[in-house]
A and B are shown apart, each in its own frame.
Chain A
Amino acid sequence: MGSLFWIQTAGLIRDTFREAMARKIFWGLFGLSTLMILFVLFLLRIDVVEGATATIGLFGFERTRLMDVDRIVRGAHSFVAAFLYSFGMFLAVFASAGLVPAILEPGRIELLLSKPVGRAHILFGRFAGTLLVVTANIAWLVAGVWVVFGWKTGIWNAAFLWTIATTVFLFSVLLSVVFLTGVAFESTALSTMIPVAMIIVSPILAQERTMVKLMSSEWSRQVWRGLYYALPKAADLAMVTLGLVRDRQADWWWPVWTSGVFGAVSLAAAVILFRRRDF
């Protein structure tokens, strides 16, 4: 790929960043992440930091043994990971849902399409820009919390950093849905509602074994299984991340590849739809 491609890609990503800044998306997420880090810093009181004799106070509980401190740190890391998978993911979807319909506005899209940039390139540039905005904030929050705990307790749980990769991965899958909905309906509301609905139904669908036992008809079992297998597995990915943070074995391959396929298909559908549309 020539320099033209990279100049255009950098331009598209920079524009997404600027728009995210102007809409206060970037600063909003950054502010919340920073508040979270400060909250953890405020809660965490250390009296002595000397290996096994360390005393740590968190949420009013005092612990002295290294084993207990380690458990508390991993627990707090799990709390942050769970926060990211639930509240954080909702926020990221809310924040980014308007970025696709924005470029499809009449008067703006014609100008974009008049430039020597392919339609798929425009969409991927926007996708990469949005992903970068959210990745920067997730990385800031996770790395910030990790540094605060490491600095205060001396326990540097590197597995916690996997949270960056797994949450960004889940967000990229949901962002594909945001893009598909945005291109198909040009509606910020729908671009928000559909991925959020997927996050909400994910833990319900994840109870597949239990639900299949409770269902009377084979047809409804197949529907349940079909939905579970096809839709992104936010709940399963959250469990994988919590397992990694707590240093437990987790079956990560299944939810990753099925969710990845869903994201790839959604993004491909968005590109096909975008290429076929008249503006």
Chain B
Amino acid sequence: MGDSCYAIEANDLVKVFRTRWRRREVRAVDGISLQVEPGATFGLLGANGAGKTTFVKMILSAVRPTSGCAKVFGRDSRSPDARLPVGYLPENHRFPTYLTGAGMLDLYGALSGMSEAARRRRIPELLELTGIGKWADIRLGKYSKGMLQRVGLAQALLHDPKLLILDEPTDGVDPVGRVHIRGVLQTLEQKGTAIFINSHLLNEVELFCRDVAIIHKGRVALTGRVKDLTRTKGFRVSTSGAPERLRDHLSAKAAAVASLNGSVQFHFATIEEANEAVDALRAEKCLVESLTSSASTLEEVFVRTVQNG
């Protein structure tokens, strides 16, 4: 392993796709630099065509960068050895349907460099862990989409990777299955496995990931901790029966005012302003119905970032 302490380290990665006769160029990835720490849970977000999948494929060397470089645990991502500690579940995977679940795991286990004895030990464990133990000897052609997703996750976990890259991991999985998969991933997170999720399911990313990057038009538009990006944005004071003079006074100070079923909601940017409003209302013996913080969801952050980009 090299000097880098990052599970993934991308430096100014660029990918330009050219049409067959090189007349037109499409910059799918336009200078992405980002780091994923070992043991982190990282979500990569972006609209369709933003460059997420191309970025992931460059990390796995399925796509060659036009310029820039990527490292996996300090090793150049173009070297096959860099992929030894990586487990990957692609989006729209197509597993060989002539194989059984156990046979498929055996193949990808061998390609990951696992000995026959290790494969024989791990395959039943992983099939049980992902909840498809009874289907081990059934051909993959008979599996439902959700089951294929589970066996796909099993192949990604088989060799106990230090970095797990998942492209839409819960795609096609029912709600119970999603909870199950999330549970499996949480166990891995506790073991210190870095988990990199490429997903358009913002709620899933918000629930599971510690860090996030939003990609827009091939560039990193926003990156940071989920809790920082979705931290409290303001405070809402809800009241009823305030005299008009006081309402006008508070409206002048508030960032926004809304009326709802006879109540008036004043939005303030800081907690101090909200408290001043509460003091003023109580001095006039007005009823304060609630004082709540208003947080932005990751979806709001995402939409704002993409629209402003």
* Chain A interface residues (CB < 8 Å from chain B): 3-4, 7-8, 10-12, 14-15, 18-19, 21-23, 105-118, 121, 276, 278-279
Contact = CB atoms under 8 A, between A and B. Distances in A.
Contacts of A118: 80
B94 A114 contact: no
Contact of B62 (A14, A19, A21, A109): A109
Contacts of A19: 96, 98
B83 A11 contact: no
A3 B115 contact: yes
B114 interface: yes
Contacts of B112: 115-116
Given A18-B103, A114-B86, A279-B57, 20 more contacts: A7-B113, A7-B114, A8-B113, A15-B96, A15-B107, A18-B99, A19-B98, A105-B94, A106-B92, A106-B94, A107-B94, A108-B94, A108-B95, A111-B155, A114-B62, A114-B88, A115-B108, A115-B111, A116-B83, A278-B62
Scoring B62, B82, B155 by chain A CB atoms within 10 A of each residue's CB, the highest score goes to B62
Interface string B99-131: 100010011101111111000000000000000
A8 B111 contact: yes
Contacts of A115: 83, 108, 111-112
B92 A113 contact: no
B98 A117 contact: no
Interface in B155-174: 155, 165
Contact of A113 (B60, B94, B116, B155): B60
B113 A22 contact: no
A11 B57 contact: no
A196 B189 CA distance: 54
A102 B83 CA distance: 23
A106 B95 CA distance: 10
B84 interface: yes
Nearest to B84: A116
A105 B112 CA distance: 20
A22 B98 contact: yes
Contact of B90 (A8, A11, A12, A110): A110
A111 B113 CA distance: 14
B245 interface: no
B285 interface: no
Contacts of A18: 96, 98-99, 103
Contacts of A4: 113
A110 B103 CA distance: 19
Nearest to B60: A114
Scoring A4, A14, A21, A115 by chain B CB atoms within 10 A of each residue's CB, the highest score goes to A115
A7 B106 CA distance: 11
B64 A278 contact: yes
B258 interface: no
B256 interface: no
Nearest to A4: B113
A22 B88 CA distance: 26
Contacts of A11: 106-107, 110-111
Contact of A116 (B17, B63, B98, B113): B113
A14 B107 contact: yes
Contacts of A15: 96, 107
The 5 closest A-B CB pairs, nearest first, are: A11-B110, A22-B98, A107-B94, A114-B88, A115-B111
B111 A279 contact: no
Scoring B17, B96, B115 by chain A CB atoms within 10 A of each residue's CB, the highest score goes to B96
Contacts of A12: 111
A15 B106 CA distance: 10
A21 B98 CA distance: 9
B255 to A, nearest CB: 47
Interface string B28-47: 00000000000000000000
Scoring B63, B84, B111 by chain A CB atoms within 10 A of each residue's CB, the highest score goes to B111
B93 interface: yes
Nearest to B165: A114
Scoring A18, A117, A278 by chain B CB atoms within 10 A of each residue's CB, the highest score goes to A278
